[in-house]
Amino acid sequence: MSGAPTAVPGPRVGDPTVTVDPAESAWAEYVAAARQLDGVRRAAATAAGEQARSVTAAREELTGVRERLAAQQSRLRELGVPAISLAPTPPEVSEAARSMAGGPSAVLAALRAAGGWADDADAVLAAHGLPRLARWPARPRNLLVYGPLALVVPLLQLVLYAVAGAGPVTVLALLVGLPLPAVAFMLGWLAVGRVFRPRPTDRVDRTPRFGALVCLVPAVLTAAGLLLAMLPG
């Protein structure tokens, strides 16, 4: 027989004869519990941070959407939309509440969707020319109304003179045209308030002196020119 050393078997798992150090076992369990607790804490901190960011973003989005909706509501009321049509119905409010029941993230998503709808509404309103013209300075804006009305009668008188010449018909047209600048001014005054309707709390600037001057000057110049043309040479 050779003198090779014989291997000594080590302790086997579950062997009741093996002695386990209680301190080492408690330490291992403590480390495992601490690691699990740290993972839970990190996950909770991440979730809380994301929720806080969602809340902040939702508040900022809410402020912007409110401001845009208030401006759009005023513009729609200027265009004659009834106030009752601009308020959400109870079923719409209930549906919106259900869509935001998932917490700040759901609220933020709903507000961003509302912002997209507000973009679409702005595009539709921007396609309508009158709201943009209403923000022009008063005199250039009102000139778009007073000017065409002031030119109607003088142009008709010039056409009539070109057709009929210096005769009784042209003289009659001049006499009939004397009070028409005042009529044109009144029509323009009413049209400015109708076309460029202000917000309910504002007053429309009809620039009456400027409008009267615009309506009077073409009529006076046309009448003077026709009278000079009809005088015998």
Reported confidence tier of residue 72, pLDDT bands at 50, 70, 90: confident
pLDDT at 69: 77
pLDDT at 7: 47
pLDDT at 126: 55
* pLDDT reading at 127 higher than 70: no
CA–CA distance, 127 with 144 (Å, rounded to integer): 19
CA–CA distance, 7 with 156 (Å, rounded to integer): 128
Give me the chain's average pLDDT, please: 75
Range in 32-36, 43-47, 214-218 the model is least confident about: 43-47
- Residue 110's contacts (CB-CB under 8 Å, 6 or more residues apart) are 96, 99, 100
Mean pLDDT value across residues 35-50: 76
Reported confidence tier of residue 124, pLDDT bands at 50, 70, 90: low
pTM for the model stands at: 0.44
Read out DSSP for 95-120? Answer: HHHHHTTT-HHHHHHHHHHHHHHHHH
Range in 109-118, 126-135, 189-198, 216-225 the model is least confident about: 126-135
57 CB burial (10 A radius; 0-12, 13-18, 19+):
middle
> How far is C-alpha 74 from the chain's CA centre?
10
More confident residue, 183 or 81: 183
CA–CA distance, 182 with 212 (Å, rounded to integer): 8
pLDDT at 212: 93
Quote the percentage of the chain above a pLDDT of 70. Answer: 74
Mean pLDDT value across residues 105-119: 73
Instruction: Give the Cβ contact number of residue 225 at 10 Å.
Output: 14
| Residues 150, 184 contacting (CB under 8 angstroms) | yes
More confident residue, 209 or 61: 209
Reported confidence tier of residue 209, pLDDT bands at 50, 70, 90: very high
What are the φ and ψ backbone dihedral angles of 133, each rounded to 5 degrees? -65, -30
Structure tokens at 179: 């009070």
pLDDT at 13: 45
